[in-house]
Structure 1
Amino acid sequence: MKIGELSRATGVSVRLLRYYEEQELLSSHRTPGGHRTYAADAPQVVHRIRVLLDAGLPTRVIREVLPCVHGDGVRVDACMADHLRDQLRGIDQRIAELRDTRSSLAAILATTERLTERPATERAGLTPTA
């Protein structure tokens, strides 16, 4: 299967397929004319890559996990479970950090909005004279 055929079969751009090769997620062979050809199971491999990317895994982790992925990409050998748990913990930590960041930003915005609702003289620390 040529790269254009693989692109059409998977809905993944030729450029992205080349990137997967650069990241050692997908392999091809070269014809004597220099064209890339892929094995018959390449569409399934691309699907698995997409499933793992959608799960938030970086390509360096996918490279390690991919040989242990089976079927439609949602079943991985048990030996990789700890690795995936580590990735999940990292995602949970990033979510917690984002929640903290969001709370800080919301507090700044709330203070800003409270201050802008007050008359300009109060914001400047002046009291109106009668």
Structure 2
Amino acid sequence: MRIGELAQRTGVSTRLLRYYGEQGLLTPSRDANGYRSFDEDDVVRVRQIRRLLAAGLTTGVIASALRCARGEEARLDLCPELAGVLHRELAAMDDRIGALQRHRAVLAGYLSADR
């Protein structure tokens, strides 16, 4: 299938699909005329990418995680290396949440002082 059909079937823009290719997340074949060609597995792959993006992962982490992703729900078969990466991502996310909570408290303090 061509990129437009993949976009239609997955709800992802052609521009974003090209970006996924640039990031190494999708590897379409090329027809003789140079057009990208995708197959049914790429529909599942795009859905996996979207699920992993929804978890807050970067495309760099997703490139590693896709090797372990199974099915459209992107269930992960955790090898020790991937588990370590995901633990680090979770810790970094917790740090960002903590920083946001501190910022929120300061901002709320300004608003309560105004009353």
Q: TM-score, normalised by structure 2?
A: 0.92
SS class of match (1:26): coil
Q: Matched residue of 2:40: which SS?
A: coil
Cα deviation 1:68-87 (Å, max 9, x = unaligned): 11112342122122221211
- Could you tell me which runs of 5 or more consecutive residues in structure 1 were left unpaired when the two chains were aligned: 115-130
Q: Which deviates the most, 68-77 or 42-51?
A: 68-77
| Aligned residue in 2 for 1:94 | 96
Residue 102 of structure 1, CA deviation: 0.5
Q: Alpha-carbon deviations, 1:22-50, whole Å to 9, x = none? A: 11111111111111101320000000000
- Structure 2 residue identity aligned to 1:110: S
Per the alignment, residue 107 of structure 1 pairs with: 109
Aligned to 2:19: 19
Is residue 70–residue 76 contact of structure 1 (8 Å, CA) maintained in 2?
yes
For the residue of structure 2 that corresponds to 1:41, the secondary structure is helix
Aligned-pair Cα RMSD in Å = 1.2
Question: Larger RCO: Structure 1 or Structure 2 (Cα < 8 Å, ≥ 6 residues apart)?
Answer: 2
Q: Whose radius of gyration is greater, 1 or 2?
A: 1
Range moving further from structure 2, 52-61 or 29-38 = 29-38
Q: Which residue of 1 aligns with 2:52?
A: 52
Q: 1:89: Cα distance to partner?
A: 1.2
**C-alpha distance in 1 between matches for 2:75 and 2:46:** 15
Identity of aligned residues (%): 46
What SS does structure 2 have at the residue aligned with 1:97? helix
1:28 maps onto 2:28 in alignment: yes
> For residues 45 and 71 of structure 1, what CA distance do their matches in structure 2 show?
8
Q: What amino acid does structure 1 have at the position aligned with 2:95?
A: Q
- 2:12 and 2:74 mapped to 1: Cα distance? 19
Q: Where in structure 2 are there 5+ consecutive unaligned residues? A: none
